[in-house]
């Protein structure tokens, strides 16, 4: 289980506020798509979840425990670029997680132990369709294969949370479609909580069970840096059968169930008003994010 | 591709030929301008004075020629330049005259015998007290220089050979600092002014110096034989200016001595002390006598034996006779058909007779 | 005709010809000059005939020296290569350890990088007298000169390369559970090795320079020692083949390091990465 709760989260760099006033309760197993215009802090939020960076204010907890101060194997990650180790073959890249765990001193397994580890990951390699390329280096793989490798690599340590930063941004449409199938399959099988940053709304809505739309709700034309983005829309896609099947219930969520239900049927409509700054909308979004 | 291989080759060959003609060594023909190289050493300082004081110009004008005196910071480099044809004359020791220009086929004449080292080169031990104590030591010196020759003579004097010691080639600029501050330097062979400094190190002993082999390390002005033959005026001008300066020096001309002391980087007292161990031939008659004495061929035989044994006569030299050395009396040491080093007393004789 | 000169390319044979041309031109120039000087003075030492050079090479490389009984070229080569190898090995080790430490650990970087930057600006040759005094005239001072000459460059280069490792990779390794030590052994060292070898290749020139300089000033053997010794009597028949030999060895070392890189880091040349 891995319920993620975010309370009153702020992130600033000096005077520049990037994220402000974020409150979220994400039930275990949720597939969240983080969408929004570029520069709106989606990736910063992901980096905070990863603990690559620390929040300026506020807390993030996983199953009630505060997030550790640095990346840990309980949170796997897939980046858009530089996501796999160029000097290791496909097989070596994937088995690396096991080697780190089992050989603290050298980070390297030998002989029978190495063979056993390789057998363990053989299935993962098969599942991402890289068996024929087991001994190739990333430089010899296509972009889609590299991302499959990166995902397989991240899954070896069985993370409870998988973070993906525009994982398919650099792929062609055909490859993307294959990747969607793969990612959903893996998510269903592993039942991880997933946070995926994407700039592609359609991708977000088709893959995820919840869409978190980041945007600024306050603007100061004199000082554009004074206000940061927040989660303007938090849209659980309850019409997806999978959501009921995979995602656990959040006991604390019960009170807002109705309100969330109101979005059902017209999730797109909300997003057309992405840049909307009317008083009414702003108030509404605050209510919505402050669950 | 329109440029043919043939044309390129022809072009390259033409270029090479043109460059070669432009750079080939000057043939011996009568000319008016001459270049003489010198470097810093107690016995050679007058050349700097000759240039600075205008004396050289005075004598050159007298014989209707032009002589440029050029100071070269690196002694060996100056000899190499002379050997390559860059200068008409150069100051050097008898050993270097034999092993660099003469062995290199450049027929050279020792026009002026200026002085010989009479204690200016020496062997200094840090702990030992006699030459025999040098056995088994590591010795810092400029290899294949007169220091090396002096060491060979020192070892010879106590029945040792070079096999009994080990030699570390060390630049003359570093000898003092090495000897004074490094514990693994126990023995050095060097010349003045470095010699005075290492000999002054506490506990160090000068166990041998060139005064024990007087007249063997000779400082010469060497001039290209061909140039000299075609231009008798050059010999007269150089000899004339030299002995005018010698007269001044012998008379203790303060201004001249101070000028030379300054140019050699010391003060008057320091320069005078260097002169004590330099046996200057102030009078042309003395130099002439030294050059014509039967001792000189004996000295040169020692020098050429040492040079040959150390491979200094070059690849082509199969015996020590390979390079012929001519002396004023007509005596010839080595190959008479390949005389490349000549000791000539004619110009000094003219000077002695006051005919310049 | 008609094509711009920037678009006209030599073929295979053409490239070979144009590549060989400067070498042939230099050789032709040498032979011409040498023949002219020798015609005038058969004993000329400045530009000896190829036959004289060949005789000298036979003597140096295959005949024991009369006085010492050693074959000079090999004694000199062994001495120089030993010094060079020590200098390069110590510098590479320093570069690797300090470079990685300062590139990876922010506290060490803050402490070390200004110091290394300043040290790397010291002209090593200017330190030579001090080195001779502090480390003696033997092997140590020569090795130290090479180390002072090239280690700061290697350290700075490696530190910069380590800092340039994409942070994504370091994060990824952490999410796979790697400790700092494991990140060094499995990520940093293997990816830095080829960079170190490349940096060493660039350092070969300076390393030779410092070696020859140190040997010229005080030594009992070595390639630089021999060149500066025989310079005393203008033995170009020794100097020229020695220079060619040094050049050949420097070339072979460069080539060897490049081959080593291809061998130890096959991923560099496989595919597009």
Distance CA B98, CA B221 (A): 13
Residue A279's pLDDT is: 40
Q: Which residue of C has its CA nearest to B170?
A: C218
Task: Provide CATH 3.40.50.300 ranges for chain A.
Answer: 82-169
Instruction: Closest CB to A106: pick one of C172, C175, C185.
Output: C185
Residue in chain C nearest B140 by alpha carbon: C218
Q: Which residue of A72, A81, A100 is in closest CB contact with C168?
A: A81
Chain A CB contacts of C265 below 8 Å = 87
Confidence of residue A283 (pLDDT cuts 50, 70, 90): very low
Average pLDDT, chain A: 83
Searching chain C, which residue's CA lies closest to the CA of residue A101?
Answer: C177
Please check whether residue C189 touches A, CB under 8 A.
no
- Burial of residue B183 (number of CB atoms within 10 Å: 0-12, 13-18, 19+): exposed
**8 A C-beta contact, residue C222 and residue C215:** yes
Q: B121-212 — its CATH code?
A: 3.40.190.10
Among candidates B106, B178, B314 on the partner chain, residue whose Cβ is nearest the Cβ of C137 = B178
Structural tokens at position B127: 């702990």
Q: Are residues B103 and C133, on separate chains, in Cβ contact within 8 Å?
A: no
C36 touching B (Cβ < 8 Å): yes
In this predicted structure, what is the pLDDT of residue C1? 60
How high is the pLDDT of residue B205?
93
User: Quick one: pLDDT at residue A284?
Assistant: 43
* Chains C, A in contact, 3 or more Cβ pairs below 8 Å: yes
Q: What is the nearest CA distance from A10 to chain C, expressed in angstroms?
A: 22
Q: Does A257 have pLDDT greater than 60? A: no
* Interface mutation vs chain C, best among A67, A68, A70, A71, most C CBs within 10 Å: A71
DSSP string, C200-253: HHHHHHHHHHHHHHHHHHEESSSHHHHHHHHGGGT-HHHHHHHHHHHHHHHHHH
CA B153 to mean position of chain CA atoms: 18
**CA atoms B45, B46, B47, B51: torsion sign:** positive
**So what's the pLDDT on residue A265?**
44
Mean pLDDT of A270-278: 45
Residue A288 pLDDT exceeds 50: no
User: Tens digit of pLDDT for each residue in A178-200?
Assistant: 889 989 988 988 889 999 999 88
The distance of C102 to chain A (nearest Cα, Å) reads: 20
Q: Does the domain spanning B33-116+217-352 belong to CATH 3.40.190.10? A: yes
Strand A65-66 to A75-78 pairing: unpaired
Q: Decide if C37 and B24 are in contact by the 8 Å CB cutoff.
A: yes
Contact state of A107 with C190 under an 8 Å Cβ cutoff: no
Tell me which residues of chain C have a pLDDT lower than 50. Answer: 273
From the DSSP assignment, how many helices (H) and strands (E) are in chain C?
Answer: 11, 1
Q: Report the DSSP beta bridge partners of residue A236.
A: A210
Residue with tokens 């144009």: C18
Cβ-contact A147, A83 below 8 angstroms: yes
> Quick check: A74 and A159 in contact, CB under 8 A?
yes
Contact between chain A and chain B (3 or more Cβ pairs less than 8 Å apart): no
Q: 29-48 in A: which are within 8 Å (CB) of C?
A: none
In 10 A of CB C231, how many CB atoms?
A: 17
Q: Residue C35: how many CB atoms within 10 A of its CB?
A: 13
- The closest alpha carbon to A46, from A57, A63, A27, A32, belongs to A32
Residues of chain B positioned with their CB less than 8 A from the CB of C79:
none
CATH number of A82-169: 3.40.50.300
Residue-level pLDDT at A286:
44
Q: Where residue A252 falls among pLDDT bands split at 50, 70, 90?
A: low
CA separation for the pair A164, A180 (Å, rounded): 13
Q: Given CB atoms, is C134 within the 8 Å cutoff of chain A?
A: no
The ranges of chain B with pLDDT < 70 are 1-30
Tell me, what's the pLDDT at C271?
64
Q: Chain A closest CA to C106's CA: distance in Å?
A: 15
Among C177, C192, C261, the strongest candidate for a mutation testing the A interface, having the largest count of A CBs within 10 A, is C177
Predicted ipTM of the assembly? 0.81
DSSP B25: P
Interchain contact, A100 vs C182, CB within 8 Å: yes
**Chain A CB within 8 Å of residue C229 CB:** no
Give yes or no on whether B33-116+217-352 and B121-212 have one common fold. yes
- CA atoms in the 13 A half-sphere facing the CB of A17: 21
Mark yes or no for CB contact A77/C265 under 8 Å. Answer: no
Nearest to B346 by CA among B205, B258, B228, B172: B228
Q: CA distances (Å), A54 to each of A13, A121, A135, in order?
A: 11, 33, 38
Match 């020139």 to its residue by tokens: C205
Residue written as token pair 């046996």: B279
Contact between B325 and B211 under an 8 Å Cβ cutoff? The reply is: no
Residue whose token pair is 């161990």? B277
Asked whether A196 and A34 are in contact (CB, 8 A), the reply is yes
Q: Characterize the bridge pairing of strands B205-209 and A161-165.
A: unpaired
CA–CA separation, C93 vs C83, rounded Å?
15
Q: How far off is chain C from B352, nearest CA to CA, in Å?
A: 34
**Are B104 and C46 in contact (CB < 8 Å)?**
yes
**Distance of residue C219 Cα from the nearest chain B Cα, in angstroms:** 5
Cα angle A201, A206, A209 (rounded to 5 degrees) comes to: 100
DSSP codes of every residue in A265-282:
T-HHHHHHTTT---HHHH
pLDDT at position C8: 87
Q: What is the pTM of this model?
A: 0.77
| Total residues belonging to chain A | 291
DSSP state of C9: -
Say if C70 is an interface residue toward chain A (CB within 8 Å).
no
Q: Could you give the 3-state DSSP secondary structure of residue A246?
A: helix
- Nearest by CB to residue B168, choosing from C32, C66, C137, is C137
Q: Directed axis angle between helix A90-102 and helix A111-127, to 10°? A: 130
- C175/A79 touch (CB, cutoff 8 Å), yes or no: no
Q: Domain ranges in chain B?
A: 33-116+217-352, 121-212
Sequence-distant (≥ 6) Cβ neighbours of residue B202 within 8 angstroms:
none
Q: What is the pLDDT of residue B342?
A: 96
Nearest CA in chain B to C56: B315
C168 and A153 in contact by Cβ < 8 A?
no
Encode pLDDT of C34-93 as tens digits.
999 899 888 788 889 999 899 889 988 998 877 677 898 999 999 999 999 999 999 999
Rounded to an integer, what distance in angstroms lies between the CA atom of residue C209 and that of residue C229? 17
- Closest Cα partner for C174 from B331, A230, A107, B272? A107
CA distances from B344 to A139, A210, A280, C257 (A): 80, 109, 117, 60
For residue B15, what is the nearest residue in chain C, using CA coordinates? C29
Beta pairing class for B89-93 and B33-38: parallel
Asked whether the beta carbons of residue C187 and residue A140 sit closer than 8 angstroms, the reply is no
pLDDT digits (tens, 9 = 90+) for A75-111: 999 998 888 999 999 999 999 999 999 998 888 899 9
Backbone angles phi and psi of A110, in degrees to 5: -130, 160
Strand runs labelled E in A112-153: none
As to burial, measured by CB atoms within 10 angstroms (0-12 exposed, 13-18 middle, 19+ buried), residue B302 is middle
Q: Are A242 and A207 in contact (CB under 8 A)?
A: no
């Amino acid at each position: 289980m891995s319920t993620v709760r975010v309370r009153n989260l702020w992130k600033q760099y000096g005077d520049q506020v990037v994220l402000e006033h974020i409150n979220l309760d994400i039930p275990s197993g949720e597939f969240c798509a983080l969408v929004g215009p570029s520069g709106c802090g989606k990736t910063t939020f992901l980096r905070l979840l990863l603990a690559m960076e620390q929040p300026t204010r506020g807390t993030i907890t996983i199953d009630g425990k505060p997030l550790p101060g640095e990346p840990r194997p309980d949170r796997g990650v897939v980046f858009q670029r530089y996501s796999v180790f160029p000097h290791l073959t496909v097989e070596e890249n994937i088995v690396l997680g096991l080697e780190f765990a089992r050989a603290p001193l050298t980070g390297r397994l030998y002989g029978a132990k190495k063979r056993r580890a390789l057998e363990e990951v053989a299935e993962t390699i098969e599942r991402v369709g890289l068996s024929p390329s087991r001994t190739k280096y990333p430089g010899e793989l296509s972009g889609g294969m590299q991302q499959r490798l990166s995902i397989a690599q991240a899954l070896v340590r069985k993370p409870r949370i998988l973070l993906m930063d525009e994982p398919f941004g650099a792929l062609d449409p055909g490859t993307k479609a294959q990747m969607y199938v793969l990612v959903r399959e893996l998510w269903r099988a592993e039942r991880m909580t997933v946070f995926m940053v994407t700039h592609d709304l359609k991708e977000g809505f088709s893959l995820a069970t919840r869409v978190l739309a980041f945007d600024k709700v306050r603007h100061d034309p004199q000082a554009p840096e004074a206000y940061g983005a927040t989660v303007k829309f938090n849209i659980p896609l309850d019409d997806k059968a999978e959501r009921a099947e995979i995602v656990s219930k959040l006991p604390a969520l019960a009170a807002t169930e109705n309100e969330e239900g109101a979005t059902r049927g017209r999730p797109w409509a909300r997003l057309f008003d992405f840049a909307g700054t009317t008083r009414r909308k702003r108030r509404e979004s605050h209510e919505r994010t402050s669950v | 591709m329109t440029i043919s291989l043939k044309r390129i080759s022809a072009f390259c060959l033409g270029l090479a030929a043109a460059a070669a003609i432009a750079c080939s060594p000057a043939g011996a023909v009568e000319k008016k301008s001459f270049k003489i190289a010198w470097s810093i050493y107690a016995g050679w300082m007058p050349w700097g004075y000759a240039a600075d004081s205008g004396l050289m110009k005075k004598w050159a004008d007298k014989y209707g020629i032009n002589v440029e005196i050029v100071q070269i910071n690196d002694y060996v480099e100056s000899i190499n330049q002379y050997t390559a044809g860059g200068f008409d004359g150069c100051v050097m020791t008898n050993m270097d005259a034999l092993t660099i220009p003469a062995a290199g086929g450049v027929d050279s004449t020792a026009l002026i015998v200026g002085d010989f080292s009479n204690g200016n080169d020496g062997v200094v031990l840090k702990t030992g007290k006699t030459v025999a104590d040098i056995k088994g030591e590591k010795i810092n010196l400029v290899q294949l220089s007169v220091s090396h020759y002096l060491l060979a003579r020192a070892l010879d004097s106590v029945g040792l050979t070079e096999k009994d010691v080990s030699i570390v080639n060390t630049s003359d600029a570093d000898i003092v600092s090495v000897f004074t501050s490094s514990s693994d330097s126990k023995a050095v062979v060097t010349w003045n002014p470095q010699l005075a400094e290492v000999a002054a190190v506490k506990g160090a002993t000068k166990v041998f110096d060139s005064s024990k082999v007087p007249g063997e390390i000779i400082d010469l002005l060497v001039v290209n034989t061909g140039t000299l033959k075609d231009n008798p005026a050059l010999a007269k001008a150089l000899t004339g200016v030299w002995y005018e300066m010698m007269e001044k020096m012998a008379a203790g001309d303060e201004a001249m001595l101070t000028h030379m002391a300054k140019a050699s980087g010391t003060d008057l007292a320091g320069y005078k002390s260097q002169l004590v161990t330099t046996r200057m031939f102030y009078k042309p008659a003395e130099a002439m006598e030294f050059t014509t004495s039967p001792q000189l061929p004996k000295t040169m035989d020692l020098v050429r034996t040492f040079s040959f044994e150390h491979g200094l006569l070059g690849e082509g030299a199969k015996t020590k006779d390979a390079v012929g050395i001519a002396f004023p009396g007509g005596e010839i040491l080595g190959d008479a058909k390949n005389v490349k080093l000549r000791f000539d007393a004619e110009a000094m004789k003219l000077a002695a007779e006051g005919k310049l | 005709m008609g094509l711009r000169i920037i678009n006209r390319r030599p073929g295979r044979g053409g490239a070979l010809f144009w590549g060989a041309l400067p070498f042939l031109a230099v050789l032709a120039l040498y032979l011409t000059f040498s023949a002219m000087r020798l015609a005038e003075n058969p004993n000329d030492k400045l530009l000896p005939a190829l036959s004289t050079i060949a005789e000298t090479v036979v003597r140096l490389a295959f005949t024991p020296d009369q006085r010492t009984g050693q074959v000079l070229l090999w004694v000199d080569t062994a001495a120089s290569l030993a010094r060079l190898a020590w200098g390069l090995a110590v510098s590479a080790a320093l570069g690797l350890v300090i470079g990685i430490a300062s590139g990876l650990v922010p506290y060490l970087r803050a402490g070390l990088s200004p110091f290394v930057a300043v040290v790397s600006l010291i002209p090593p040759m200017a330190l030579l007298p001090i080195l001779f005094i502090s480390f003696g005239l033997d092997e140590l001072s020569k090795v130290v000169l090479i180390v002072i000459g090239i280690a700061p460059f290697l350290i700075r280069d490696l530190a910069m390369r380590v800092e340039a490792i994409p942070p994504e990779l370091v994060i990824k390794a952490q999410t796979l559970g790697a400790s700092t030590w494991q990140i060094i052994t499995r990520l940093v060292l293997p990816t830095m090795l080829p960079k170190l070898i490349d940096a060493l290749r660039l350092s070969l020139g300076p390393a030779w320079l410092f070696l020859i300089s140190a040997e010229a000033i005080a030594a009992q053997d070595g390639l630089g020692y021999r060149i500066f010794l025989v310079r005393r009597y203008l033995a170009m028949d020794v100097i020229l083949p020695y220079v060619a030999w040094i050049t050949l060895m420097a070339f072979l070392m460069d080539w060897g390091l490049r081959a080593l890189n291809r061998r130890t880091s096959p991923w560099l040349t496989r595919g597009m990465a």
